[in-house]
A and B are shown apart, each in its own frame.
Chain A
Amino acid sequence: MSMLKIEGVHTFYGNIEALRGIDMEVNEGEIVTLIGANGAGKTTLLMTCCGAPQASKGRILFEGQDISRMPTHEICHLGIQQSPEGRRIFPRMSVYENLQMGASTQDPKYFDQDLEMVFDLFPRLKERITQRAGTMSGGEQQMLAIGRALMGRPRLLLLDEPSLGIAPLVVKQIFETIKQINREKKVTVFLVEQNAFHALKLAHRGYVMVNGNITLSGTGAELLANPEVRAAYLEGGH
């Protein structure tokens, strides 16, 4: 069944219409990616799912429940967690404290078990446990952001450009881990990316966004082979 269903969503920033009627869905157990150029509205769509900003038209259903009018912090309690654009970790708090913050919606009894799970996925974080998060490298910060989201025991994980400003080798590693999270931890992933090649290779299905509209959709392999996608997002790159 579809876990997240977006129906005709319009979102405005003041007078600017950033999303012009989006329809898409994420099924349980999938990795779905959304690719597009700068300013296409990818992040806006992801944030609209979290209720900041709220959609002015249309509905967003999470497991059948309409969440488009709920405040952000309540949406998180339903089992949606995100690693926001630019990571937004708490720079002056330690890695451990950041992970504690991630678990704030959860019963403390799961904490130790979840912490171990995150450290299994990202052994680097365990080494840095008492370090100030802001002093870590970009890749480590991204790992922390994903780990922090996982501490909230999500069923749906929203990832906004996890490859942003990170060394290619580390990007590969992070994408591997995302795959592992999806397969082993049974977490559904909705991934917003500019790095179309990596994202489409990883994803089960993908959507392409241009100027606030979804223009193409299909499986990851289909989109990778699509000449339009190749011309717009892949050529000249990898």
Chain B
Amino acid sequence: MSAFLTSSRISGAEIAKELAFFAVIALMMSVMILGVETVDRPTGLELAVRWDLVLTAIVSTMIGRLALIMRRENMSRIGQAVLITLAAIAVFEMFVRFRELDDRWAHPVILDMASSSITSVIVALAFIGIIFTIAYFSKKTAVAEADTAPKLGAKIQLAYRSNTKKIGALGIAFFVIFPFLFGENRSAIDLATLVMIYIMLGWGLNIVVGLAGLLDLGYVAFYAVGAYSYALLSQNFDLSFWLCLPLAGIFAASFGIILGFPVLRLRGDYLAIVTLGFGEIIRVILINWYDLTGGPDGISSIERPSFFGFADFSRRVPEGNIGFNELFGLEYSSMHRLIFLYYLILVLALVTSFVTTRLRKLPIGRAWEALREDEIACRSLGINPTNTKLSAFAIGAMFGGFAGAFFATRQGFISPESFTFLESAVILAIVVLGGMGSQIGVVLAAIVMIGFPEMFRELAEYRMLIFGAGMVAIMLWRPRGLLSFRDPTILLNMSTKDKVAGEVK
């Protein structure tokens, strides 16, 4: 290591050791991901080794680490900025090579790219300039941020917690006028409906996981029960959606109780495993009970909901019925049905949320929360843990069942493939990401988890990369979820604002 690197606090040998350590880590991480690729040759698929990529990865890691060491030790700022810029260029080079290049030992690609035209030279210089400037000036702001960040966080928290109701009302208002804003945009309505389904599922699971503290990895089972109950009832008995909706909820709730009984004595990890198994059992039954469920073929042409039994949404209205457009004197549009479905799920979701917030204030809701905190204390206060847990399972499952019935009627086709473990995991992730027990948190998390990946579909696999990075960031900075504050349900002679302000300090 050159002399300018050695400071009073760290010796050249230590720096070399640290760099070597990170080089090894970079090697281990890059060798399988970047270093090996399959190539389609006339003789068949072959493995090709891309040492150039691995090398670039290691070099950029080492340069970047060196810059971080210098930053840590408060050494030459110019040096830091140069190194960071170099690391950024190396990373860029690595990506370009990874995407574009087959030739393994070609010259650095970015040189060719940059020198190909005057514009590209300017762009490249601007790129380097921007990174250099950011790297050079970022130290000061970083220190300033460390000072203000906690205060800012507290301010946001105070603002959120003292205005929860207003934020909720604003959110509801936005979702209510949403179709008027995007009325003609079919994909926007579709996406909003999808997000809304997950919001509802999140709110339902929130009762079980967030309030009662029972980790349920098989929530999708109730979603499936609801969907299949509606599909089968409507196909076999010709019942209307409006009759089947409560039935689907009741079926799902009774499955919740069936699941609840055997798992009453389990807690934590063990409970999670059993519920996971339950979710899979339901799915496997759906696949194998061919006579009833149609197995892997699923159930198709499920009846669409009518306008509360008064009017029909289809273009060719069956004999004796009246079309929705005729009823309101409108021109026929296929959007009517979609917007109606959107409002339907919106109402269902709002009912879920309303019931949950009401329940939280009732003895049963408080018993759920107390059970989550301390089961032994609950028992010794005279709360029957059996009934409390079962009611949480049943009510959570019921909302899952409603959502399932809605899903079936919206899709018109269901098969066991829609109810895999991945769905459970996504719903659970929404609850955890939103902050256990937080209603608005679930909405935010559903938009982040479902809305964003759908919106940025063009980014293809990169969105999963960003998604992963986002999850890591949340684990680091908000490990208890986006909105992880629990406010008491009752405040005496004190506004929420004063209360929160007292606690935030």
Contacts and interface: CB of A to CB of B under 8 A. Distances in A.
A53 to B, nearest CB: 12
Contact of B489 (A77, A89, A97, A135): A97
A55 to B, nearest CB: 16
B77 interface: no
Interface in B308-334: none
Contact of B494 (A93, A104, A130, A149): A130
A73 B384 contact: yes
Contacts of A131: 503
Given A93-B373, A104-B381, A131-B503, 9 more contacts: A52-B379, A72-B379, A72-B380, A73-B379, A73-B382, A76-B380, A89-B377, A90-B373, A152-B381
Contacts of B381: 76, 81, 101-102, 104-105, 148-149, 152
Q: Chain A interface residue count: which class?
A: 20 to 34
B374 A88 contact: yes
Contact of A90 (B370, B380, B382, B491): B370
B264 to A, nearest CB: 13
A217 interface: no
Contacts of A148: 381
Nearest to B388: A73
B492 interface: yes
A84 interface: yes
A130 B382 contact: no
22 contacts: A72-B380, A74-B382, A81-B380, A82-B380, A84-B376, A84-B377, A89-B374, A89-B377, A90-B377, A91-B373, A96-B488, A96-B490, A97-B369, A97-B490, A100-B366, A104-B367, A104-B382, A105-B381, A129-B492, A130-B491, A135-B503, A148-B381
Interface string A64-86: 00000000111011000110100
Interface string A29-68: 0000000000000000000001010000000000000000
Contacts, number: 82
B71 interface: no
A213 interface: no
Contacts of A104: 363, 366-367, 381-383
The 9 closest A-B pairs by CB, nearest first: A76-B382, A105-B382, A94-B488, A88-B377, A90-B373, A72-B379, A73-B384, A101-B370, A73-B382
Contact of A130 (B366, B369, B376, B488): B488
Contacts of A129: 492
Q: Which of B367, B380, B486, B494 has the most CB of A within 10 A?
A: B380
Given A91-B373, A93-B373, A132-B503, A84 B380 contact: yes
A92 interface: yes
A83 B301 CA distance: 60
B377 A152 contact: no
Contacts of A81: 380-381
B385 interface: yes
Contacts of A100: 363, 366
A118 to B, nearest CB: 14
Interface in B357-403: 363, 366-367, 369-370, 373-374, 376-385
B441 to A, nearest CB: 15
Q: Which of A50, A92, A104, A149 has the most CB of B within 10 A?
A: A104
A184 B490 CA distance: 30
B366 A92 contact: no
B436 to A, nearest CB: 10
Interface of B: 363, 366-367, 369-370, 373-374, 376-385, 486, 488-492, 494, 499, 503
A131 B494 CA distance: 12
B376 A52 contact: yes
Given A73-B382, A130-B494, A152-B382, A92 B377 contact: no
Contacts of B380: 50, 52, 72, 76, 81-82, 84, 88
A49 to B, nearest CB: 11
Contact of A88 (B376, B488, B489): B376
A93 B370 contact: yes
A73 B374 contact: no
B385 A90 contact: no
A214 B243 CA distance: 66
A103 B311 CA distance: 52
Contacts of A82: 380
A88 B486 CA distance: 19
B370 A96 contact: no
A84 B378 CA distance: 11
Contacts of A135: 503
A215 B177 CA distance: 77
Nearest to A106: B382
A81 B383 CA distance: 12
Interface in A195-215: none
A135 B486 CA distance: 13
Contacts of A94: 488, 490
Interface string A144-167: 000011001000000000000000
Given A72-B380, A73-B379, A93 B492 contact: no
B366 A101 contact: yes
Contacts of A72: 379-380
A93 B379 contact: no
Contacts of A73: 379, 382-385
B157 to A, nearest CB: 14
Contacts of B369: 90, 92-93, 97
B492 A92 contact: no
Nearest to A94: B488
A129 B502 CA distance: 13
A26 B4 CA distance: 81
Contacts of B383: 73, 101, 104
